[in-house]
Structures are given as C-alpha cells and as structure tokens.
Amino acid sequence: MGVIILLLIASIAVAAIFLLGFIWSVKDGQYEDEFSPPVRMLFDDKPGNDSPEK
Amino acid sequence: MTACYHCGEDCIDGYILHEEQPFCCEGCKTVYQLLSHNGLCDYYDLNANPGQSLRKPIRKDKFSYLEDDKIQQQLISFRNEEQTHINFYLPHIHCSSCLYLLENLHKLNRAVVRTTVNFSQKEVDIIFNHGKTNLREVAELLTNIGYEPYISLNQLKDKKPRLPRTMIYQLGVAGFCFVNIMLMSFPEYLGLESAEKHLQYAFRYLNLILALPVLLFSAQPFYESAWKSLQHRFLNIDAPIVLAIWVTFFRSIFEVLTDTGSGYFDSFAGIVFFMLIGRVLQDKTYQQLSFERDYTAYFPIAITVLKEDKELPTALPDIKAGDTLLIHNEELVPADGILTRGKAFIDYSFVTGESLPVLKEMGEIIYAGGKQTGGNMELLVVKEVSQSYLTRLWNQGDEKSTEEKGVSFVHLLSRYFTYIVFTIATISAIYWSIFDSSRIWPAVTAILIIACPCALLLSNSFTNGNILRILGRNKLYLRNAQAIEEMATIDHIVFDKTGTLTTTQQHDIAFEGEPLSKVDREAVSALASQSGHPLSKALVKQLGRNHLTVEGFRDHTGKGIEGMVNGVLYALGSHTYLTGQEGSSEGTRVYLAKGKSICGYFSFRNHYRDTVYELLRDLRTEHKISVISGDNPGERQALEKLAGRNTTILFNQKPHDKLAYIKHLQRRGKKVMMVGDGLNDAIAMRESNLGIALAEDTNSFTPASDGIMESMQLGKLHRFIKLSRANRMIVMASFVMSIVYNIIGLSFAVQGDLSPLVAAILMPASSLSIIALTFSATNLTARWLKL
C-alpha cells in the first residue's frame, strides 16, 4: 500500500513542476508578445556578419 | 502606377531607379541604401514593401530635447556606467520585417548593444552604450529608417503599469488543484474497499490541502468583487457565489474531519477554475490600445523655449507664463499664448472639428491643441499647460467616472435567483425540522452548493468574452464587457460630422462658373501644387499633377496664392483676397482669378464615407439619430438628404454644446451613443452612455472612450449593435439551461442526499455544456450578421 502513497506524492510533485513552469513562463512575459518569438527564431544571421552580442 | 520598393506607395511624381528598384522619393532610397550597405536586405524579402514613406521630411532638430539631462532622466528606464536602457513606442511597427530590422539595429549603429521588440505593444527596448552614442542619435536613427518614436508628455509621468498577471497565476493554481483533486477523488467514486481506510484518509486529507490554495488564493477576485458590492449596499452576482464557495468548502472540511464523507472539493475547485477562465477571457484587453488617454498623450514631451536669443528645449511642465515658445511647422501648440512673431495658420480640426486651418495674426490669442501648419512662429505663453483651454476642456467631464455607467442585468438576475434559492432553502429547512431534524444541515448546505449562480456568471463571462473577440476581429475594440450591454440598450445615436461621417482625406470638388479649359486646369493645378494648404492639395489631387513651372509664386498664408503660369497671372483664394470685398459665407469656396477677372469658384464639400448612406438608412429604422458638427452649416442640404427628415442636425457646436446636447437627451431618458473622432467630441463621448472613437487606423491618437473603431468599419455599426443585443438573449438562454441542471441538482439536494459523485458529474457537465452553448450561439449569430 505504501507504494501507492509514494506514487501519489510523485504524481503531485510532477504536476507541481508543471505548475512552477507555468508560473515561470508567465513571469517571464511569454504571454505578452505572441508574435515576435516565433518569427524571431526564423531570422538567420548571414555568414560574414558578426552575431549580435548577447 | 509604379509602387515604391520601400514603402509600397504609388510613385505619383515619377520614380527614382536605384539598383533596378523603383523608389518614390529620396528618403526611401536612402533607407534602402543604408540597409543594403549593412547587409539587411532581408527586410525586403520577408514582406513586400514593408517600409514607411519618408516623403514628409522630419525637422532636423526635432529630437534635440533628448540631449537635455532632465528629460533624459525621466525617459530612460535604467542606466549604469556603461549602458543605458530605453523604451520607445514606435507606432509604425506592423510586420515581421519591422521586427527584423529593429532587432538588427546594432548593425546600423555599433553602439547599440541590443534591441528587443515587443510586437503587441509596439514597443522596443534598446540598450545602448552611452559612451559612444546618445539618446538623440538613437532616436534619430530610428526616425531615419522610418520608425519615428512617439514621445509624448504622459511618458514623463509614472511608468506604465505592467499587465496584471495575478489572475493568470490564480487560474494556474486553480487548474493545478482542480485536476489533482479530481484525480484523487476517483478512487472514492469508483468504490474503495473499506479495508483500505488509511488510503481513504490519505486521499481526503490531500484533497483538503490542495483545496486550501484555491480558497485562499485563486478565489480572491470573487471575494474582492463581493466585498466591494456589499460596501456599496448592492448585491452583485459575486456575493452569492462567494457564499456558495464557502459553504461548499466548510461542509467538505466538516465531512472530512468528522469522517462522514469525502466532501465536494473537486466541485469546489472546478467551479472556481471555470469561473476564473471566464473572467480571464472576458477581461482580455487590447494591449496596444489605450482607452484612458488624456491630453498628456497628445502633447509632445518638450518644446523649444526662446531665452535670450537661445533656443532651449524645455520639458512641457516647466513652461511658465511669460515664456516665449518657438513653434515649428507641424508642431502642436501646447499652451495658450499670444502670437508675437510669424504667421499662425492653425489646424484645430482635432480640437474643434473645423475642417480647415484658421489664420491668426500677430497679437491674437492662440489656444492650445492646434497644430501649426506653415512656417515657424513665436508665442508668448499666457497660461501654463495645466491651465490651458484644452486641459480644462479635458478635465471638465471628470466628475463622473466612466466606471459607474451602468449595472449589468446579470446582477439583477442573480439577485432574484438568490432570493428564490434562499426561499427553497428555508422551506426545506422547515420541512426537515418537522420530519427529520438530522437532515436540516445536509439539505440546506446542499441547496446552497447546487444553487450557486455560477452557471449564470459562466454564461455571461464566456458570451461577453466571445463577443468582444468577434468585435475585435471586426476592428471594433471595446473597453470592457459592460460596454456590450450599454450598446444593446442604445436608442439614440449622435454622430459627429467632420472626420466621422466624412473623411478628411477626400473632398468633393466642383467648379462653378464658366467651364475651365484644359490649359487653365493644368495651370491651376500647377499653381496649387506650390502651396501646402489642405485645399490646394485637394485641388491638385482632383486636377492631376503636372510639371508646368510657376513663376513669381506668392503665398499669402490663409488668404490665397498667386503666380504666373504660361505668362498668365492666376490667383486662387478667398473672395476677400481676390476682390477686396466680403463674399458669400456659404460653404467652403476657393475663387479663381485669371488676369484681373474672376472666372468662378471651386466649391469644396467634405466627402462622406461610402457606407454612410446605407448605415444611416439602416439605423434610422430602430434608433433616433442626430448629427452635430463643429463646422459651418454650408452642408446642411447635403446632410439632410443623407440623413433623412427626422434627423436632428446641428452646426457650429462647440465641445460644450455637444456635451449639453448629450445631457439634454439623457434627461429625456435616452440612452445615447456618441460616435466621434476628435478631442472636440471627447467630453461628449465621456458623458454619453457609450462613446465610440473613430480612428483611421489603430495607431492614431484617439480621445478617451468606451470603444475604438477603425473608420473603415463604420458601415458595420448597425450589425455591431445587433450582435450586442444578441448577447443578452444568449446569456438568458444559457441561464435557462443552467436552471434545468439546477432543478436536477436541487431535487437531490432537498432530499438531503447529494452524493459527491452526482455533484462531481453535474458541475463539469453543466459548465462545459454552457460554455459550448454560448460559444456556438455567439459564433452563429456573428456568422448570420456576416461579421
């Protein structure tokens, strides 16, 4: 029976990780601009140009 | 017509060919050269003609005020020894090319460290190395590539508040708890062996723990709203909901602690979760729009002050009475003052609704809010910015806040609902006290749990959210859900004329007098093309551009122009200018003189938007209509023909008159919608039950209002109103459906044996079916209305 309790705790812990991930993504502002990030990753730097400083 | 490779506009005056691409002007070509030189030509590959036309030159010193330390301090968001962070609002951002170019700004100016675009806010965060460049250079670079930052006075005040995220967190937590509680309730529903008692305890107590964050954190918006309503001695829909939430929770706790049952934690968390989704959906705001703009967003941040023959850029709040301002062409007059040098030719169209610029002579007083067109002028300030005519105009309607405009019918409905529920609860309590007093407590709490008006709240918030979305898709952006209900009850619509029913971009021009020969027409067009007056521009557009040369051109600002074309002297202007005598004041006329004799006049009529006739015809069947205009009554006849006989038409209405007219209608019990476009309508719009501001595009400045509509969509207004009326029907229909669920639930509840399983099935089933019904009903209505 103890194993069920263990599984319970594990499942809630996994769910809690997702919750934290969600909170983190909101805090990071991921939902405030839904246009730029998907477009941004498609821009490629041409060879020869120096890449932007990060 | 060839389209410019950079901006996509038609090249009216021929084009410049550069590297086999056509450009409409030097400005566009320069940008192209700059970009191609820096290897940024992807800009043109991502979207066709992504640029902004640079035909209108921007004054060289426009951003000189950015060198002022005090102004800089207030604009920049962060600065250390090396770097400065600045956030600019760039209204021109519109496509992925813009994103590409702006985020590669460091290739154009090495001192820029990084740029990050926020597309939905049309903002850009720039980090630059202030050792190698400065704020002014960055702003000028942006301007040079066609993204002029919009810097207005309201940026001097506190930083814009970030979007509230609390409710999103609350939603996340509620979702997490709901799903997990659900999971852990299943074993009990499916029948746990009584031998596994300790497992049952484990599930129940875990549920209890998981329910706590929902009660304490996620449900907060409902507590706040309910508490506020109680303070105002008004029972809104959230009060019974809070009651139901609490009763559910405490009954569940009681059951778990006394080991009499498993409680209704899943229903409890589920209902909070669904209601929060509805709230979030309904409160979705349009980030890029602002409904609360005041004059500070309209005013520039700084203006040039002349002090001891030196031009000092000064922040607007620092201007004192007695200062001398230098106002450049196309700049806004920020404070009331007396004209001391130069000629003022002021475009008040935004403030008063007059469609043509007004000429002011030296010594005359100029009110704030107008835009100088034509040359520089000097102004002696008599009243500070905060005391000026415009500011006072703006602050006038302030006594009444827009929040208090009305009470949603949903609250009233929920009140009746609550009374009925309490009655049922009391009756069953009395019944059980006679027959079996041990069942009073379970029966009453079950009734309160089941009968929470959450279905009503759900249907309302989901319907509202979806209607807001449909309207937004049609370019009508409403401030909030309450505006939908206001729109549904409107019975009198007041239109502004200039800029609302008419468009400022087009004129209907007719020549009265002897018909002009082709030679004359060309000559008039050539002469008119020399002047920047709006009427001249309209004439040129009508007659077609040509390349005749004009000799001895003279511009008597505000009166007329003259010049020699093909050896003949032509003059265009007012009757007074050409003859020295006062002419007829009817309508807008420009007289034409050839040599010494007057040939006739061009009459100018505002061009009504194409959809106006049909719109007014459709609206007339169900609403009263008024048209009020700040303009002269020259167009009364045309307007009467357009608007029909029963329409009230008023001319020469100052902002106060408009306000008074709205109040007058409201006193007679009318629900008034005001559709306007400028500041002159602002206080009337605020006073009306629903103020809609019309904008040529959503970038342009609009006064505070309940909704912003793109002007191309004006013809759809009739259908928008119909959709908003459907809103109430849909909410009622889904409410009736939820009552059916309630009756099923209540039939269990009054008997005192509402099993958690029944509650657990009933709650999500009713919620989901209500959501499905509202969505399909609103979408079907919208499709039927062709929206």
- Tokens 């008597």: give the residue: B556
Q: Tell me: ipTM over 0.85.
A: no
Best of B96, B122, B126, B276 to substitute, by most chain A Cβ atoms within 10 angstroms, is B96
Which of B667, B702, B719 is the last residue before a domain boundary? B719
Show the tokens assigned to B314.
């000064």
Mean pLDDT of B280-300: 71
CA distance B34 to B41: 10
Of residues B348 and B97, more confidently modeled: B97
How close B71 comes to chain A (CA, Å)?
28
> Quick one: pLDDT band at residue B31, thresholds 50, 70, 90?
confident
- B235 with B274, same domain: the answer is yes
CA distance B264 to B254: 11
**Would you give the distance in Å from CA B744 to the centre of its chain?**
45
Look over chain B and give the mean of its residue pLDDT values, rounded to a whole number.
83
Which ranges of B309-439 would DSSP assign to H, the alpha helix? 349-352, 389-396, 409-435
Inter-chain touch A49–B172, beta carbons under 8 Å: no
Mean pLDDT of B115-128: 86
CA distance B108 to B103: 11
CATH number at residue B654: 3.40.50.1000
CB B746 within 8 A of CB B450: yes
- CB half-sphere exposure, B424, CA atoms < 13 A: 26
Inter-chain touch B99–A23, beta carbons under 8 Å: no
C-alpha distances in angstroms, B608 versus B72, B419, B658? Answer: 44, 53, 21
Of residues B406 and B488, more confidently modeled: B488
B1 close contact with A: CB closer than 8 A: no
Percent of chain B with pLDDT over 90: 11
- What domain range is B379 assigned to? 298-395
Inter-chain touch B287–A1, beta carbons under 8 Å: no
Q: Which of B42, B114, B202 sits opposite A5 (nearest CB)?
A: B202
- B525 with B536, same domain: the answer is yes
Inter-chain touch A36–B117, beta carbons under 8 Å: yes
Of B556, B499, B503, B566, residue with least CA distance to B533: B556
> Quick one: pLDDT band at residue A50, thresholds 50, 70, 90?
very low
Of residues B703 and B339, more confidently modeled: B339
A51 close contact with B: CB closer than 8 A: no
- B339 pairs with which residues across the strands? B379
- B494 with B527, same domain: the answer is no
- A–B CB contacts, 8 A cutoff, strictly below: 69
A19 close contact with B: CB closer than 8 A: yes
C-alpha distances in angstroms, B283 versus A53, B534, B692, B693? Answer: 38, 42, 19, 20
CA distance B218 to B175: 9
- B630 with B673, same domain: the answer is yes
What's this model's pTM, rounded to 2 decimal places?
A: 0.81
- B321 with B361, same domain: the answer is yes
CATH number at residue B322: 2.70.150.10
> Quick one: pLDDT band at residue B402, thresholds 50, 70, 90?
very low
DSSP state of B493: E
Of residues B537 and B278, more confidently modeled: B278
CA distance B452 to B420: 11
Percent of chain A with pLDDT over 90: 28
Which pLDDT value is given to residue B674? 92
Domain boundary assignment for chain A: 2-32
- B637 with B702, same domain: the answer is yes
CA distance B214 to B177: 7
- B603 with B618, same domain: the answer is no
> Quick one: pLDDT band at residue A54, thresholds 50, 70, 90?
very low
Inter-chain touch A33–B199, beta carbons under 8 Å: no
| B78 CB burial (10 A radius; 0-12, 13-18, 19+) | exposed
How close B587 comes to chain A (CA, Å)?
48
Show the tokens assigned to B119.
């597309």
Neighbours of B286 (CB within 10 A): 15
pLDDT tens-digit map of B123-156: 888 999 988 888 888 998 898 888 888 887 777 6
A28 close contact with B: CB closer than 8 A: no
- B573 with B543, same domain: the answer is yes
How close B39 comes to chain A (CA, Å)?
8
pLDDT tens-digit map of B720-751: 999 999 988 898 888 888 888 878 877 877 77
Classify the phi-psi angles of B568: left when phi > 0, otherwise alpha if psi is within -120 to 50, otherwise beta: beta
- B530 with B661, same domain: the answer is no
**Would you give the distance in Å from CA A19 to the centre of its chain?**
11
Inter-chain touch A23–B172, beta carbons under 8 Å: yes
A4 close contact with B: CB closer than 8 A: yes
CB B588 within 8 A of CB B604: yes
Inter-chain touch A48–B169, beta carbons under 8 Å: no
Top mean-pLDDT range of B194-203, B304-313, B630-639: B304-313
Which of B581, B607, B633 is the last residue before a domain boundary? B607
CA distance B608 to B161: 40
CA distance B543 to B176: 68
- B354 with B391, same domain: the answer is yes
Three-state SS letters, B184-207? HHHHHHCCCCHHHHHHHHHHHHHH
Q: Is residue B493 part of a domain?
A: yes
Which of B557, B588, B607 is the last residue before a domain boundary? B607
CA distance B407 to B398: 20
Of B571, B602, B572, residue with least CA distance to B588: B602
pLDDT tens-digit map of B182-199: 888 888 887 766 667 888
Q: Which of B100, B119, B176 sits opposite A43 (nearest CB)?
A: B100
CA distance B521 to B365: 38
Q: Which of A5, A12, A53 sits opposite B114 (nearest CB)?
A: A53
- B171 with B278, same domain: the answer is yes
A48 close contact with B: CB closer than 8 A: yes
CB B692 within 8 A of CB B673: yes
pLDDT tens-digit map of B640-687: 888 877 888 888 888 888 889 999 999 998 899 999 887 778 888 888
CA distance B691 to B620: 19
Which pLDDT value is given to residue B401? 47
A24 close contact with B: CB closer than 8 A: no
What type of residue sits at position B293?
R
SS3 at position A38: helix
CB B768 within 8 A of CB B775: no
Show the tokens assigned to B3.
């389209």
Domains held by chain B: number:
5
How close B545 comes to chain A (CA, Å)?
41
